[in-house]
Structure 1
Amino acid sequence: MGRLTTHVLDTTNGVPGAEIQVELFRVQGDTLQFIKRVYTNSDGRTDSPILEGEAFVSGKYQLVFHVASYYQTKGIQLDDIPFLDDVVIRFGLNDEDAHYHVPLLVSPYSFSTYRGS
């Protein structure tokens, strides 16, 4: 069975992004179907896969990482309208037996992602 995991690294402070709210949606045309809300742990990961088992089906998905609120809790001064409020990553799951890992490297002004292992 396939699974979806993530890992957030705070590149501003050089630490894992702990206690970041992450939401998962399934994208169906113009509609977003909410699936799950999780928080990263002290290592910047979730305690269990975000999606796995019978719920893990092929399709287009979206992860939303709430990074502005994370940086505000760290005492970083952000503009009234932060440059990066939420980081949204859309991606496809094609192989229902594969492990899809979506790492996020983030700062208040930039982010990077890739398909990890």
Structure 2
Amino acid sequence: MNGGISIHCVDVATGRVAVGLQVRVLRLGPDGHPLHPALAEGRVGPKGVLDHPVLMSDAITTGGYEVQFAVGDFYRDRGTGGPDPAFLEVVPYRFHISDSAQHYHLPFKFTAWGFSLFRGGA
């Protein structure tokens, strides 16, 4: 069984989970570029997590991935907290899974001006 990927998003400017943030997960091809269509795509739910069945399935294997966070749209949709035009539009995060049996937890903490991404311990 594969460990899967979990993605947790928090708007640290408000101290709240980023409900509605659009997130895409793409596999990277041999050339290092994202492959289309997206492996998983959706909006962050009320617990701050992208809840997509593919992320906890056998589709998550060793190899490269890119997660794209639509920060500019997130702030535009709310009409608050962001510059016009957006300082951050889409934030890409590329990483590699070397052991698909492990779980990869990816916390994304952000404001309209900056972000933090890392592999968490959950």
In the superposition, the TM-score normalised over structure 1's length comes to 0.90
Name the structure 1 match of 2:115: 111
Name the structure 2 match of 1:78: 83
Shift of 1:107: 0.3
Shift of 1:56: 1.2
Q: Could you report, residue by residue, the CA deviation over 1:2-61 in whole angstroms, capped at 9, with x for unpaired residues?
A: 210110000111110001110011111143212121210012112345523220110010
SS at match of 1:9: strand
Name the structure 2 match of 1:96: 100
Q: What amino acid is aligned across from residue 72 of structure 1 in structure 2? A: R
Return the match for 1:55 from 59, 68, 78.
Answer: 59
Q: Does 1:6 align with 2:7?
A: yes
Distance in 2 of aligned mates of 1:69 and 1:53: 28
Q: Does 1:36 align with 2:48?
A: no
Runs of 4+ in 1 over 6 A off after TM superposition: none
CA RMSD of aligned residues (A): 1.5
Kept after mapping to 2: 8 A contact 1:3/1:49: no
Distance in 2 of aligned mates of 1:45 and 1:106: 14
Q: Could you report, residue by residue, the CA deviation over 1:65-93 in whole angstroms, capped at 9, with x for unpaired residues?
A: 1011111122224222x110111100011
Distance 1:102 1:53, change over 3 A: same
The answer for unaligned runs of 5 or more in structure 1 is none
Q: Which has the higher strand share?
A: 1
Distance 1:79 1:50, change over 3 A: farther
Name the structure 1 match of 2:28: 27
Distance 1:48 1:9, change over 3 A: same
Kept after mapping to 2: 8 A contact 1:5/1:50: no
Distance in 1 of aligned mates of 2:95 and 2:33: 15
Kept after mapping to 2: 8 A contact 1:4/1:49: no
The answer for unaligned runs of 5 or more in structure 2 is none
Name the structure 2 match of 1:18: 19
SS at match of 1:69: helix
Q: What amino acid is aligned across from residue 84 of structure 1 in structure 2? A: L
